[in-house]
Amino acid sequence: MRQSQLFTKTLREPPKDEEAANARLLVQAGFIDKLMAGVYSFLPLGLRVLKKIEHIIRDEMNKAGGEELVMPALHPLENYLKTKRDKIDVLFHLGSVTGKQLVLGQSHEEVIVPLVKKHVSSYKDLPLAVYQIQTKFRNELRAKSGIFRGVEFLMKDLYSFHRDEKDFEKYYEKMKKVYFFVFRRAGISPDTYLTYASGGTFSRYSHEFQTLTSAGEDTIHLCEKCRIAVNEEIINETKKCPSCGAAKLRQERAIEVGNIFSLKTRFSDAFGLTYKNEHGINMPIVMGCYGIGLTRLMGAIVEKHHDECGIIWPDEVAPFRVHLIALESKVKGKRSKVHKAVERLYEELLAKGVEVLYDDRDYKSPGEKFADTDLIGIPWRAVISEKTLEKNGIEIKKRDSTKSEVVTFAHFLKGIAHRV
Amino acid sequence: MRQSQLFTKTLREPPKDEEAANARLLVQAGFIDKLMAGVYSFLPLGLRVLKKIEHIIRDEMNKAGGEELVMPALHPLENYLKTKRDKIDVLFHLGSVTGKQLVLGQSHEEVIVPLVKKHVSSYKDLPLAVYQIQTKFRNELRAKSGIFRGVEFLMKDLYSFHRDEKDFEKYYEKMKKVYFFVFRRAGISPDTYLTYASGGTFSRYSHEFQTLTSAGEDTIHLCEKCRIAVNEEIINETKKCPSCGAAKLRQERAIEVGNIFSLKTRFSDAFGLTYKNEHGINMPIVMGCYGIGLTRLMGAIVEKHHDECGIIWPDEVAPFRVHLIALESKVKGKRSKVHKAVERLYEELLAKGVEVLYDDRDYKSPGEKFADTDLIGIPWRAVISEKTLEKNGIEIKKRDSTKSEVVTFAHFLKGIAHRV
């Protein structure tokens, strides 16, 4: 994409109304725009990142046997009366002109269970895993930390359905691994930890996935040996690692980037979701649920990967792979050698399917272009100037490195197309 | 995809609470599920169709120079006070726990204009076209006609920004053509008509795109000569074709599948959106907006393409390209020749990138399988049985044809991969 075509501009200064680094950088670089506290637009650059994260999550959920669907945001309140969740304090309530009482979904158990009930009736239909990537709403008193704790946010929620606890546990263990695949591809392993949290009324523990960042909302207690953590609630109960029993735990700031729960038969019971077993006997269906906030994950990536000059996107979630820049001395009314070389390279990169942002803005100084490059944080910077052309080449630099080198066009094209 | 893996099942009977053919068929075939009036879930098959429609629209909007972003559903009411649209009767109102008055977006002028104002300031930034594919809400008293008139629905809305009326008109004319590209690819041309509608307070006319269907909500008046139409409001004013002046217009039932509007400077003025021209003088920005309801379009496609047995999906929006069926006489404990042949063909189709739904359910009779195939409406049906294997082939039939023929596997594979 030609940067001159991008309608968003980087801001000279970070916004004054944002405290969190993720929001300051994402707003300043033109990835997001704040409409009000906890409610953001995703601009072309930000939407590209969000789609990359969506792709990773969809891919891993499909591989884990998930079937994708999409459920509505508007729910009838009556479904929440059945599950006794109508008083949850983060629910947005609204009335319809037809007199129906509605809420905005912050979770979808009240929709997915009656829906699955229409299609699942036999042990042959189980196990089943369905998921969606969909916009959710929380009536938050203190929306804060940029896109960490949103009032409106994009989330992946998967629900699994099983004939018994044993089958559920097998899937639950599998999903723990799948979550780490997601976090690795999103560039936030290795310091993301499976974290024991309270299981509420259903089971002893649920599990969060916490990633270390000084901007984190939570404190976790790490067991170096097991590479797991416990959250504040659990540490107050047990004072030790629930896995190995070690008492020496290291305290860290972290942010939750995913969570998985055992739901037992709580929601199945509320809606009468059962299956017929091999003997024709009706049995309750055992459920689990598995969430990842996509916008929150995007914020966590930025918190973990930035420096004083801007964002440093991990490869697989970067909006583009290459930021191409021409430094040309202006020859009035005449296209320079540099201009011709950079235009040709841009076309060659597109032809090879390399995602490239080409800074073709001739009214920007080299210093402004470099500052924007660092702020936006695309993994590879590639610069063509008269100096590099003398060497018949291009200067390349990784965003997270201070070293640059001049390589030939052929070498660059070959390497970048093979994802060096 | 193996049909045994699809959690949704077709229903024996159409649902009793749906009047419109689109909803009856889509619910019965397992594409959608009704949560309440005007609010539907999109199940795996339905989501596939929606993504195909989304792909067509995104592709055409990108080609027309649109930049994609995504804006929130929650809007601050204060923005609507500025445009005097706070009293629109289809707006859902809700309060936040922070005391803020909110509405759910049924359109996004009140969000896009202040957003664009932060990034656009010069004539060099114009023209600009931005769009989103996003969920909208209308507090409808009579949500009806299945997914035609939704309370919650998916929509593409594009907004264009121009330095003057002339530049706007050029883009507006271009978008008329782009809309027909979309409708052609979605399989609803040639009987979709540019229809003159009231321009409201801004201009003499706005334009709707109406497609003929007996289930339509609207009456339009067609000029055969110009291949345009006028809606009820306009016919009452002018009594003739606004293009050629002909008075002989044919009355038809139709449904709106898109609309485009001139917004002049109404919203720019409300938020002070201006640009500096070549002489440094502030000028108001001229706007247009361009909508297509994706879920509504999906409903229209079904209304127009079905028969008494089920849906007949046009090629480019079909959930799959081939419905593969094995008819095997059961040999107990032993896999039949038919089974081996169909499994091999399924793998070959996947390897060629052909989207195939493979009915591998061995507990279904041939009659049940054929009924499901007709109901679901995938363009090609491909059947393997002992009879076709005798001819070393496969029986193929187009969903909208009564003729079937047996062709060799090689012929079938070659043809289907080249999109016969």
Say yes or no to pLDDT of B403 above 80: yes
Count Cβ atoms below 10 Å from residue A275 Cβ, excluding itself. 21
Q: How far is A391 from chain B (nearest CA, A)?
A: 35
pLDDT tens profile A208-218: 999 999 888 89
**Region A108-120 average pLDDT:** 97
The beta strands (E) that lie in A247-321 are given as 250-264, 274-276, 282-284, 286-293, 306-307, 310-311
pLDDT at position A333, please? 56
What is the Cα–Cα distance from A47 to A49, expressed in whole angstroms? 5
Nearest C-alpha in A relative to B94? A94
Helices of type H across A258-306: 266-271, 294-304
Which of helix, strand or coil describes residue B175? helix
Q: How far is B361 from chain A (nearest CA, A)?
A: 11
pLDDT at position B420, please? 41
Helices of type H across B9-103: 21-28, 44-63, 77-83
Interface touch B111/A35, C-beta < 8 Å: yes
Say yes or no to pLDDT of A384 above 80: yes
pLDDT tens profile A78-88: 999 999 999 99
What is the Cα–Cα distance from B83 to B93, expressed in whole angstroms? 16
Instruction: Out of A359-373, B236-250, B261-275, B360-374, pick the least confident.
Output: B236-250
Q: Which of A97, A120, A135 is the closest to B7 by Cβ?
A: A120
Q: How far is B47 from chain A (nearest CA, A)?
A: 6
Q: Helix/strand/coil (H, E, C) string of A174-214? A: HHHHHHHHHHHHCCCCCCEEEEEEECCCCCCEEEEEEEECC
Q: How far is B173 from chain A (nearest CA, A)?
A: 22
Say yes or no to pLDDT of A109 above 70: yes
How does residue A331 score in pLDDT terms, banded at 50, 70 and 90? low
What value of ipTM does the predicted structure carry? Answer: 0.95
How does residue B243 score in pLDDT terms, banded at 50, 70 and 90? confident
Interface touch B33/A100, C-beta < 8 Å: no
* DSSP structure string for A388-405: HHHTTEEEEEETT-S-EE
pLDDT at position B75, please? 98
Interface touch B73/A135, C-beta < 8 Å: yes
Say yes or no to pLDDT of B90 above 70: yes
CA distances from A4 to A361, B46, B126, B247 (A): 5, 38, 11, 49
CB-neighbour burial class of residue B224 (10 A; exposed 0-12, middle 13-18, buried 19+): exposed
pLDDT at position A132, please? 98
How does residue A334 score in pLDDT terms, banded at 50, 70 and 90? low
Count Cβ atoms below 10 Å from residue A235 Cβ, excluding itself. 19
pTM for the full predicted model: 0.96
What is the Cα–Cα distance from A398 to A314, expressed in whole angstroms? 11
Helices B294-304, B21-28: inter-axial angle, 10-degree rounding: 90
Say yes or no to pLDDT of A420 above 50: no
Residues A200-222: b if buried by 16+ CB within 10 A, e if exposed: eeeeebbbbbbbbbebbebebbb
**Residues A41, A46, A51, CA angle at the centre, nearest 5°?**
105
Which of helix, strand or coil describes residue B278? coil
Q: Which of B44, B89, B115 is the closest to A68 by Cβ?
A: B44
Q: Which of A118, A139, A152 is the closest to B72 by Cβ?
A: A152
Say yes or no to pLDDT of A295 above 90: yes
**How do B356-359 and B322-327 pair as beta strands?**
parallel
Q: Which domains occur in chain B, in start order?
A: 3-307 (3.30.930.10), 320-417 (3.40.50.800)
Q: How far is A72 from chain B (nearest CA, A)?
A: 6
What is the Cα–Cα distance from A31 to B389, expressed in whole angstroms? 57
Helices of type H across B85-125: 109-117
Q: Which of B9, B43, B72 is the closest to A41 by Cβ?
A: B72
Select from B94, B357, B360 the residue whose CB has the most chain A CBs within 10 Å, as the one to mutate to test that interface: B94
pLDDT tens profile A2-42: 999 999 999 999 999 888 899 999 999 999 999 999 999 99
Residues 6+ apart with CB under 8 A from A314: A186, A187, A188, A301, A305, A379
Residues 6+ apart with CB under 8 A from A288: A159, A160, A162, A168, A171, A172, A175, A260, A261, A262, A263
- Does B350 or B226 have the greater pLDDT score? B350
pLDDT at position B201, please? 61
How does residue B240 score in pLDDT terms, banded at 50, 70 and 90? confident
Q: Which of B35, B67, B140 is the closest to A111 by Cβ?
A: B35
pLDDT tens profile A242-284: 888 888 899 999 999 999 999 999 999 999 999 999 999 999 9
